[in-house]
Structure 1
Amino acid sequence: MTQRKAIFPADRQSIYEKNGYSAAIQSKDLLFVSGQVGSLEDGSPEPDFEKQVVRAFDNLRNTLEAAGCTFEDVIDVTTFHTDPENQLDAMMKVKDSVFKEPPYPSWTAVGVTWLAGFDFEIKVIARLPSETN
């Protein structure tokens, strides 16, 4: 049986427990991060789209850090967009400030009709640095 370890960013475990899932699961040297959204401290959506994307990346950063990772450890990205055509420029601005140089992670963007009140969600797979696994 594969060993799994739940990862939670500081001060956010109750949000995940309330909804019955983990922020991330570590399995050997891989980290599978659940979709991160641009939520305010109370879990509600940030109303401004670009700020929502920034918050989603901040929440992702906090989850990665809780596992001993950084954005440099990310190998695969999936993003979900409620209005991709009109949101792409703002999302790319934030993405480019995080993933600044090659090699970039693989990336899949998906248009969706519903994200529980949010307009953007990002999930990733990262490889843990060898000293953390």
Structure 2
Amino acid sequence: MTQPEAIVPTGRNDLYEKYGYSAAIRSGDLLFVSGQVGSLEDGSPEPDFKKQVELAFQRLKATLAAAGATFDDLIDVTTFHTDPEHQFDAIIEVKNSIFTQKPYPNWTAVGVTWLAGFDFEIKVVARLPKTA
């Protein structure tokens, strides 16, 4: 059995230590990434919604990179939204700027009532390239 390996992007270890979880876990050729949010450097939410989504994707990109992966390696995406009806256009705009070619990862969007002060969170599963 493959031993799981914790993946933490540079500069974020204190956050994960404080709350007792890993940014991602590598298990074999799969990477399971914890929910990423659009936090400022101090950990607080970015107040502008679209910028919060962009920051969440930047945090995700850094976590993927720490494991040797990119957005192209994503196979499963789940996003959480506090007000999907009013947020969807901004989310799609950011998403479409990142995922520009097929095949797109599968995607599940979930409306929620609480994200610890945030309005958007993204978690993914990626298949790691053989060189990672």
List aligned pairs for 1:54-133, cutoff 5 A.
Answer: 54-132=54-132
Q: Secondary structure at the match of 1:47?
A: coil
Runs of 4+ aligned structure 1 residues displaced above 4 Å come to none
Residue 2 of structure 1 deviates from its aligned partner by 3.6
Q: Secondary structure at the match of 1:131?
A: coil
Aligned residues: 132
CA deviation profile, 1:23-71 (whole Å, cap 9, x unmatched): 0000000000000000000100000000000000000000000000000
Q: Secondary structure at the match of 1:17?
A: helix
CA deviation profile, 1:64-110 (whole Å, cap 9, x unmatched): 00000000000000000000000000000000011111000000000
Q: Provide the C-alpha distance between the structure 2 equivalents of 1:81 and 1:54, rounded to a whole number of angstroms.
A: 14
- 2:18 is matched with which residue? 18
Q: Secondary structure at the match of 1:130?
A: coil
TM normalised by structure 1 equals 0.98
Q: Provide the C-alpha distance between the structure 2 equivalents of 1:97 and 1:75, rounded to a whole number of angstroms.
A: 18
RMSD: 0.6
Paired amino acid for 2:110? V
Paired amino acid for 2:12? R
Paired amino acid for 1:82? T
Paired amino acid for 1:120? F
